[in-house]
Amino acid sequence: MQRSTALGLIAATVLATCPAAQAAPALHFGPCPEDVSTPYPELRCAGLDVPLDHADPAAGTVRLLISRLPARDPAARRGALLTNPGGPGGPGIAFAGSLSRRLPDVVLNSYDLIGVDIRHTAHSTPIHCVDAATYWRAPLPDPDAEAARERNWRRAAEYAAGCAQRAGRYLPHLTTPTIARDLDLVREALGEQRISFLGYSWGTYLGAVYGRLFPHRVDRMVLDSVVDPSRVWYANNLTQDVAVQRRLGRYFDWVARHHGTFGLGADRERVGTAWRAVRAELRHAPRGPLGPSELIGITFTALYGEDDWIRLAEALAAFHLRGDDRPLVGMVVPKDAATENANAIYNAVECADAPWPADRATWERDAAALARHSPLAAWYNLWSVAPCRTWPAPSGQPVRITGAGLPPVLLLNSVHDVATPYAGALRMHRALPSSVLVTERDSGTHGLYAMAGSAEIDRIGTDYLVRGSLPAGDVAVPGHPKPDPAAPGPPRGRQLVLR
């Protein structure tokens, strides 16, 4: 992997201040691919070739696809707002389309909204490591069962080997700093001296790295659901396990408060017993594509927000109380080629960004220790990144985030976030002296601005993006209301993908 040394950082700064040193071609926008233009016909797309290796431009190029929604009010336009949905591996163009339906009009009046499928994702020279239909055929092996451990390690090694075979030449250059440099070439091709940035989840780390490499190219920056920059990436995955277990308890509390609706128990312990009984039954006899791994995945995903809380509780009740597995089976989402592409990028970037333990004993010791008090995802989360143990590209050292030279930055995080635990937002806040942190209390929603329905967070984010105004200091706002099973609303279709 190409990792920034002090000399590399100086070179990056020179390039940022002297656009002629590495001129990017102008973008020519036209129709987007059909899968984007059908739901979002207002978007226009353009291709941009960037170096495969920024340290060796002669080594070839990879092609990125970029989308743009021009500012609705040219007189009010103040620049370009680049967006990223997280992952790493989230399809950025589709996400920008989704944001075009969520962001306030005053933001859409003020900015060209820009989406980027980062290198090797979605429409940007995509890669795959395995055949999705065979490798991801459900049900997957039980993540917790000791009897399945050898099989899970073999699958992890098979995945890493598949990446080497299918995408080996790209893997050394699939890193967060490389992607940040790609974004600066997007900025240049857009003809912008500075850009604003709205990043969620892993996108917050991408934004922080961009700000480290190109601080004077940043206009305004919103980092929403914030990655801990000091624990990239092995330790971050461990902290997720603790956070998701605490969030699971709060979910069980919510289910218990609605015992009259769901019938799963009137306290946390009884609801937990019901969930574990479903898992035990699936261990004994999986139901089609639904096994214990899928149940854990469904539960983990539901804890990113509250959109699926009612549906999951109803499905658990149908299975546990009435023997009807159809609602829970219906929540299994098959992993298709697009999902496999996202998974490939997720592993590739995290594996190459930072060191990982080389010996199985360390992984197993840490997972076993966590499983004693945080059992939901201790092993499940391990297997999601286990290919990093034998990853075929070298790992570097994470970029040290300092915030030097950055303008004011807005950080947003819920206090019970499972994917980006709150302690990480505090560490990012300390690393970025110009930042202001807005916390949503009594909430675990992952992705807040224009996502969670918090009027106060939406107001703060919009005031900052449009007028540059921030609270005088850190702010804690009330949590948004929890779902009411007596009056369920339609799902909001969230697209954040960091696991």
The set of catalytic residues is 201, 417, 446
Q: In the beta sheet, which residues pair with residue 414?
A: 440
- How far, in Å, are 219, 233, 416 from residue 193 at the CA level? 9, 32, 37
Q: Determine whether 287 is exposed, middle or buried from the number of CB atoms within 10 Å of its CB (0-12, 13-18, 19+).
A: middle
- What is the distance between the alpha carbons of residues 213 and 301, in angstroms, rounded to a whole number? 33
Count of CB atoms situated within 10 Å of the CB of 330: 11
Pairing of strands 61-69, 44-51: antiparallel
**Residues with Cβ within 8 Å of residue 40, at least 6 apart in sequence:** 32, 67, 94, 97, 100
- What is the distance between the alpha carbons of residues 305 and 294, in angstroms, rounded to a whole number? 18
- Identify the helix (H) or strand (E) that includes residue 62: strand 61-69
Question: Phi, psi (5° rounding) for residue 317?
Answer: -65, -40
Whose tokens are 């059908």? That residue is: 38
Pairing of strands 61-69, 111-117: antiparallel
Give the DSSP per-residue string, 136-168.
Answer: TPSSPPPSS-GGGHHHHHHHHHHHHHHHHHHHT
Whose tokens are 């949905």? That residue is: 85
Q: Are the CB atoms for 289 and 329 separated by under 8 Å? A: yes
Nearest to 205, CA basis, from 189, 173, 183, 185: 183
- What is the distance between the alpha carbons of residues 4 and 342, in angstroms, rounded to a whole number? 25
